[in-house]
A and B are shown apart, each in its own frame.
Chain A
Amino acid sequence: MTETSQSVSQSVPQPEPRLELVDVRKAFGPKVVLDGLNLSVALGESVVIIGGSGTGKSVTLKCILGLLQPDSGQVRIDGEDTVGLRGAARERVLTKFGMLFQSAALFDSLSVWENVAFGLTEGAGMEREAARAIAIDKLAKVGLDEDIAMGDPSGLSGGMRKRVGLARAIATEPDIIFFDEPTTGLDPIMGDVINNLINECVQDLGATTLTITHDMSSARIIADRVAMLYGGKIIWAGGVDQIDDCDNAYVDQFIHGRETGPFALEVT
């Protein structure tokens, strides 16, 4: 639901949302994944998307980044519709973004620090030595030491790969950062470290973040606003303080993880 509230008086200009999806549709063959999705994220806001497995959360992020082309609808970034941008125009838009992939997607031909520094050395053309110092600093923030930084990503555990991916996403200090399940596969303490790190990105760097998570405790810590994706649409969006007493039965079932409720166990 878009809640660009009507109650705001006409005289106060509504700040343009950093990121706005308007009626985005995406199908893979006959399988409709996004079916008229609307979502807007304000400047400096931290929005968490929740929703069942396979509902299209990762697809939503990929549509915003242009990795997947929406079938219709608009993806407005700072007011500019970016659907269909290619080449240099797409690269210019992407300089604003950092992305942690669900699978981490580390380059296995490069060492760990080269992975983290990739956006600096290749994207921004920074010197290798300077980029390495930054990479090692970012890795320290996610709890990985210099020995690991010099090694290969292939030897890392799933949670460690996730953290390297996270360090890579924030290394260039982008304006908009996407985290696809940042705390999945981490122990609770490391999960908390990552939650704080995401908050730090928002508070210190002023970044706008969009996070996908199944971890409700993490969502409560990092979210300003929570949006629930179901059936290809955002069926509920609201402040994080409203999720406990919202009247949406789906959200209620989801955040409490009950088996019974409006969600039927769909066999797809």
Chain B
Amino acid sequence: MGNPLAVIGRVFLSFLATVGRLSIFTGRSLSAVVTFPFYWRLCLQQMMTIGYYSLPVVGMTALFTGAVLALQIYLGSARFGAESAVPNIVVVGLTRELGPVLAGLMLGGRVGAAIAAELGTMKVTEQLDALITLQTNPFRYLVVPRLVAATITTPILVMIADIIGVMGGYLVGIHQLGFNSAVYLKNTFDFLEVMDVTSGLVKAAIFGFLIALMGCYHGFHSKGGAQGVGKATTDAVVSSLILILISNYLVTAAFFSQ
């Protein structure tokens, strides 16, 4: 027990075991995505719960982020007389980074936790076993609809968040910072590149996938009773947030490395 090398070894081995389990889980999920049957009704239902019902929280986040961004950038850029750059920096910051990342973090809390709690409860109350005995593959019936719905709806949510965020900045810009409305909008769109938006949306799709994957994985592997489900929920949220931050860096580096 006391040997530090043994402790490191144990930690490393359990890390490898987790990576292995997660890879197998991901593999089984992805192979279930491409094989029949595909549960359309469940997928649409998940799009409603994951996407539509997340609109308020994502919209609020975006609105205030856009507003505060405009305010801060204005204060900062006023020091060297570059106030006219505010609209452009706001939109680039939102579409590239803050839109997808903040929406991802909010969804990780909201959706990841909900998925892990629901599937975890199904696991500990033998509902997953019952599903199998009724000849229904839990990956197809439970995991695939959530993965597909989250991967599709997160970019849509982020697109909406981008628009609402720009609007937040715009409102602050014209009402508080004295911008002319037409000039603000012109500056917003003139320098915006397609890449800014698409990179953000690609990130969003990846984040959505990771959130649903972590929720399903931890839900499926929860043990024990209520306490086990609670732990699964926490693990799902924490791991999805960490994976979002790491993958955000990796995707950014891949997109903009020159």
Contacts and interface: CB of A to CB of B under 8 A. Distances in A.
A95 interface: yes
17 contacts: A65-B132, A67-B129, A91-B137, A94-B132, A94-B134, A94-B135, A98-B133, A99-B130, A101-B129, A101-B130, A103-B126, A105-B126, A105-B130, A106-B130, A109-B118, A122-B135, A168-B130
Interface of B: 118, 122, 125-127, 129-137, 141
A62 B137 CA distance: 17
B118, B122, B127: most-surrounded residue (chain A CB, <10 A) = B127
A107 to B, nearest CB: 6
Contacts of A109: 118
Q: Is the interface of B mostly helix, strand, loop or mixed?
A: helix
A109 B133 CA distance: 18
A105 B133 CA distance: 11
Contacts, number: 50
Q: Is the interface of A mostly helix, strand, loop or mixed?
A: mixed
B132 A122 contact: no
Contacts of A107: 122, 127, 130-131
A210 to B, nearest CB: 13
A119 interface: yes
Given A67-B132, A105-B129, 5 more contacts: A95-B135, A99-B133, A107-B127, A108-B127, A123-B134
Interface of A: 62, 65-67, 91, 94-95, 97-99, 101, 103, 105-109, 118-119, 122-123, 168
B13 to A, nearest CB: 17
Contacts of B118: 109
Contact of A122 (B125, B129, B141): B141
Contacts of B127: 105-108
B135 A119 contact: yes
A2 to B, nearest CB: 26
B134 A118 contact: yes
Contacts of A122: 134-136, 141
Contacts of B141: 122
A94 B122 CA distance: 20
A123 B129 CA distance: 14
A112 B232 CA distance: 28
B64 to A, nearest CB: 34
A107 B127 CA distance: 6
A116 B251 CA distance: 46
Given A103-B125, A105-B125, A65 B130 contact: no
A26 to B, nearest CB: 15
A119 B141 CA distance: 13
Given A101-B130, A105-B130, A107-B130, A123 B136 contact: yes
Given A103-B126, A107-B127, A67 B137 contact: no
Nearest to A124: B135
Contacts of A118: 134, 136
Contacts of B131: 107
Contacts of A95: 135
Contacts of A103: 125-126
A239 B21 CA distance: 46
B17 to A, nearest CB: 16
- Please provide the 5 A-B residue pairs with the shortest distance between their CB atoms, ordered closest to farther: A105-B126, A105-B130, A123-B135, A119-B134, A99-B133
Contacts of B136: 118, 122-123
A5 to B, nearest CB: 33
B86 to A, nearest CB: 47
A168 to B, nearest CB: 8
A123 B132 CA distance: 10
